[in-house]
Amino acid sequence: VCRVLVLISGNGSNLQAIMDQALPKAPYQVVGVISNKADAYGLVRARAAGIASHYVMVNPEESRADYDLRLSEAIEQLQPDLIVLAGFMRILSDELVKAYQGRMINIHPSLLPKFTGLHTHQRAIEAGEQEHGASVHFVTPTLDAGPVILQAKVPVFDDDTVELLAERVHEQEHAILPLVVKWFAEGRLKMLDGKAWLDNQPLGAAGYA
Ligand code: GAR
């Protein structure tokens, strides 16, 4: 059974979706949840599901390398096969990313390569986009630039608000993220030569289509 570790910073609705689709529905179990925020509601969700949850405190004095060293120790104790960044709002050092390359995925609230970084819903509305969405991708050292595995699109309406659009995107995230975790757990998904592969087929720039 694939051991999945989820990293969060906030509400954890994507964590919930992953937990809800775990064994016996799919061949993975969530073995732990790590947050960089003490008050992340996702930690409450993890405890309610009987899953080990850890808060790795951020010390403002310490370097990224030092934080990531402590984070790596917490990760290693759980021996994960797959690390899922599900609303984890902290940039990881290249070293940590490389140590888990091909075994770490992220959900990002935009149709990558559009709108990397923060405030994606706001920016999509301001840019006059008619379509927006979410992407699941393998994590590589360049922020939000790793190979895309799966995207989901939603419409942007003329009178949309950030809240409504975010809600629409979230709903899609809760469908695509557990699906990708399931593919990985089934041994169907790999990262090779900078590309995502599903069932031994290289995926295109927008992932599985
Ligand atoms: C999600 O929309 C996710 O795509 C986004 O944070 C939200 C977390 O929601 N991630 C990022 O912006 C990563 N840069 P959740 O805590 O309810 O799962």
Other beta carbons within 10 angstroms of residue 73's beta carbon come to: 10
Query: Which residue blocks in 90-200 are alpha helix, DSSP H?
Result: 94-99, 120-126, 162-185
For the entire predicted model, the pTM comes to 0.97
For residue 209, the model assigns a pLDDT of 81
**How remote is the CA of residue 35 from the centroid of ligand 1, in Å?**
13
Average confidence (pLDDT) over 131-160: 97
Is any ligand 1 atom within 6 A of the Cβ of residue 207? no
DSSP letters, 30-66, are EEEEEESSTT-HHHHHHHHTT--EEE----TTS-HHH
Contact 69, 109 (CB under 8 A): no
| 191: nearest Cα among 125, 146, 126 | 146
Bridge partners (DSSP) listed for residue 204: 207
Is any ligand 1 atom within 6 A of the Cβ of residue 13? yes
For residue 202, the model assigns a pLDDT of 97
Q: Return the SS3 of 182.
A: helix
For residue 141, the model assigns a pLDDT of 96
Q: How far apart (Å, rounded) are the C-alpha atoms in residues 53 and 63?
A: 24
ipTM strictly over 0.95?
A: yes
Distance of CA 68 to the CA centre of its chain: 17
Average confidence (pLDDT) over 181-203: 97
Q: Of the residues 53, 151, 170, 176, which should be mutated to test ligand 1's pocket, given the most ligand atoms within 8 Å of the CB? A: 170
Q: Is 30 exposed, middle or buried (0-12, 13-18, 19+ CB in 10 A)?
A: buried
Looking at ligand 1, which atom is closest to the CA of residue 120? Answer: 12
Q: Is 132 a catalytic residue?
A: no
* Per-residue model confidence as pLDDT tens digits over 165-174: 999 999 999 9
* Per-residue model confidence as pLDDT tens digits over 53-62: 999 999 999 9
